[in-house]
Structure 1
Amino acid sequence: MSNLKEPNPTLWQGRQSEQQLYLHEKISCTATLPHVMNSTIALLSYACDEGVKRNQGRVGALMGPDAIKGQLSKMPNHLPQETQVSDIGIVECIDTAMEEAQETLAHTITTLLQKNAFPIVFGGGHDMAYGHYNGIKNYLGTTKTIGILNFDAHFDLRSNANGNNSGTPFFQIAHDCKTSNTNFQYLVLGIREDANDRELFKTAKELGVHYIRNEKFNGQHLKNIQNQISEFIHRVDYIYTTIDLDGFSSAYAPGVSAPSPMGFSPDIVLACLETIIHSGKLISVDIAEMNPTYDQDKQTAKLAASLTHYIMHSI
């Protein structure tokens, strides 16, 4: 049974116009990858929260992609007419087969990049980062360096000695990099001391992880933040950006697997995204941990959709 499902066109609804004023009128549903055109923005769902469950988090993120699409659908379209935007489908986790979902995600990302598409993936648990990264790596080969830039309260560097979950993806990537003798380049923005134990900080130090603590991740320190991001980008060939919605304060993002009022705000993330996008090295993006079960007035879904809207109109 295939775990890559066709997109659901009924999600794309909103105000009607005859000028494609809204994104639901711009976006096409492409059921098969061979029909993805060059220079397409490709929207892909990762409907899986098995990793969250294994990590003892609040389940419900498998419904996150649909919630994000529902809000993105209604937003205005300011894209050039020649820009193609396609919903290419849903990677599902069948039963508890998270690793198979990650493999399908990796294969799909590789195919999209081969077709010169720009992938934006909606999750789903942050375990999708392992599949997403591998898809980029399989496309680029071993001669190019991939920098991972993660907006997150958590390192997600937990050991996978007892199995993989939503807290292990970057530990897994680091281990794979060591095995293949390639550089592990990882920068986390928004790290909280109250969300990571001392062993995780120790692991981050041992792996050479760069990070900015949450108390320094705000507009008052913007210049220093942008300088650190620029220095990181300069060291790598491509940037994979992943946005974990639980890094935001629950004032902005209550609908996540691990909420906290102590997170960061959208304005600093948008400022950083501008720096990342303008570097010309951004190759792919995902948004993780959207959990509509705990959302309030669809606030978190709207935040994720607004971030996507900004990225789509800036790349």
Structure 2
Amino acid sequence: MSTLTEPVDWTGTSSDPIDEQFGDVVESSNLASADGYDIVLVGEPYDGAVISRRGAAEGPSAIRDALAAVKTHHFDVGPVDSIADLGDVEVPAGSVPEVQDAIREAVEAVHELDALPVFLGGDNSVTVPNVAPLLEAASIGVLNIDAHLDVREVRNGPTSGTPYRQLHEAGLDGYACIGARHFETSTAYHDYVRENGGTVVTAEEVAADLVAAVDRALSGLDSVDRLYCSVDIDVLDATYCGCSAPTPGGLTPRELFQLVRLVAADERIAGFELVECAPSLDAEGRTVDAAARTIAHFLSGWSA
């Protein structure tokens, strides 16, 4: 059975005692005492399923370091607090299915907490074990904030491109992708999403009217009781993005921040993840900083 490692100790980086940062408020905890918090962080350092360039296994540690230096205050809703870090999932050596099974065992107990689980990836294959425990409890939909649909066929085993095909086959009740880019997805995979009742909202639609784009994505998930939100950082334009598959035509960080705040306000939110942040492929830490602030913005929207 896979377990969680020792949690990380967080500290702020500012010399000004008035500058409250996430490093000052995130506390180390464990499953036994985590119910006392509103939000729990769990790292998933794995990139063995990446189709192209690896590096996302370094994501959880780098995101923690960047988030620790981010101030907790949002102008509209005030500070974010009541956060625990439960450590990383101990990822075993083995095939992608074996790793997915092990991660699922570890996160099932996280989903049983009263706190909101926030998973720090890791490649996009971790979405499967992160969502799978929710399928047993209620009608579940996933909002995939991503440049790609990630519904590839599972041929020689799962990859970072197959998570939503796997979840559909396991009983996922709803799917919407927002931020998808033209010429990044095969026709057959777009057809698969449409045939299964999914919704695709492009990056162009987000740029034209962000609020309307979010409304259209969420309206495609009206029939589900609970909602899981996944952010693949490659939804950002390649200018801002160090990841396995950066491409032009994506969202700006400011668009992503507003988008996740709007989504987080949905009362059905049952979990959140940020995946595919690869520090070794980054330039000057821009992607890691954007990833950390994406998490901060989501938590501010959820806490409001």
With normalisation by structure 2, the TM-score equals 0.90
**Comparing 237-246 and 77-86, the one that deviates more:** 77-86
Task: Give the Cα–Cα distance (whole angstroms) in 2 for the partners of residues 116 and 149 of structure 1.
Answer: 21
Counterparts in 2 of 1:180-195, with a 5 A limit? 184-195=173-184
Match of 1:221 in 2: 209
Q: How does 1:21-170 map to 2 (within 5 A)?
A: 21-30=20-29, 32-52=30-50, 55=51, 57-78=52-73, 83-138=81-136, 141=137, 144-170=138-164
Q: What secondary structure is seen at the aligned counterpart in 2 of 1:217?
A: helix
Q: Distance in 2 between matches of 1:206 and 1:313?
A: 35
1:241-263 deviation digits (Å, cap 9, x = unpaired): 0000111101121x111111221
- With 36-45 and 242-251 compared, the bigger mean Cα shift is at 36-45
Contact 2:260 2:301 in 1 (8 A): no
Root mean square deviation of aligned Cα: 2.3
Structure 2 partner of 1:313: 300
Deviations, residues 128-186 of structure 1 (Å, cap 9, x unaligned)? 11011113224xx2xx2111001111111011132111111100011111xxxxx6300
Distance change (3 Å), C-alpha of 1:81 and 1:260: closer
TM-score (structure 1 length as normaliser): 0.87
User: Bigger CA drift: 188-197 or 284-293?
Assistant: 188-197
Amino acid corresponding to residue 155 of structure 1 in structure 2: L
CA distances 1:93-134 after superposition (whole Å, capped 9, x unpaired) = 333343343234333433223220111111110001101111
CA contact (8 A) 2:124 2:276 kept: yes
On the 8 A contact 1:6/1:88 being kept in 2, the answer is yes
The 1-side partners of 2:108 and 2:16 are apart by 35
Structure 2 counterpart of 1:231: 219
Name whichever of 100-109 and 158-167 sits farther off. 100-109
**Counterpart amino acid of residue 295 in structure 1:** D
Q: State the identity as a percent.
A: 24
Deviation at residue 85 of structure 1 after TM alignment: 1.1
Residue 18 of structure 1, CA deviation: 5.2
Match of 2:282 in 1: 295
Partners of 2:81 and 2:211 lie apart in 1 by 33
Q: For this pair of structures, how many residues does the alignment match?
A: 299
Once the two structures are superposed, what CA deviation does each residue of 1:19-41 show, in whole Å capped at 9, x if it has no partner? 671211211122x3112123431
Distance 1:2 1:115 in 2: 18
The 3-state SS of whatever aligns with 1:51 is coil
2-side partners of 1:190 and 1:81: how far apart? 28
Q: What CA distance in whole angstroms lies between the structure 1 residues aligned with 2:233 and 2:260?
A: 14
Whether the 8 Å contact between 2:125 and 2:163 is mirrored in structure 1 is yes
Moved more, 59-68 or 230-239: 230-239
Q: In 2 relative to 1, CA 279–287 (structure 1 residues): closer, same or farther, beyond 3 Å?
A: same
| Matched residue type, 2:54 | V
2:263 pairs with 1:276: yes
* Structure 2 unmatched ranges of 5 or more: none
Q: Relative to 1, partners in 2 of residues 1:119 and 1:223: Cα closer, same or farther, differing over 3 Å?
A: closer
Equivalent-residue separation in structure 2 for 1:244 and 1:96 (angstroms): 24
The runs of 5 or more residues in structure 1 that have no matched partner are 178-182
Aligned partners of 1:225 and 1:274: how far apart in 2? 13
Is 2:248 the partner of 1:250?
no
Contact 2:91 2:102 in 1 (8 A): no
Paired AA for residue 53 in structure 2: R
Change (3 A) 1:276 1:161: same
CA distance 1:226–1:164, shift in 2 (3 Å): closer
2:41 and 2:198 mapped to 1: Cα distance? 29
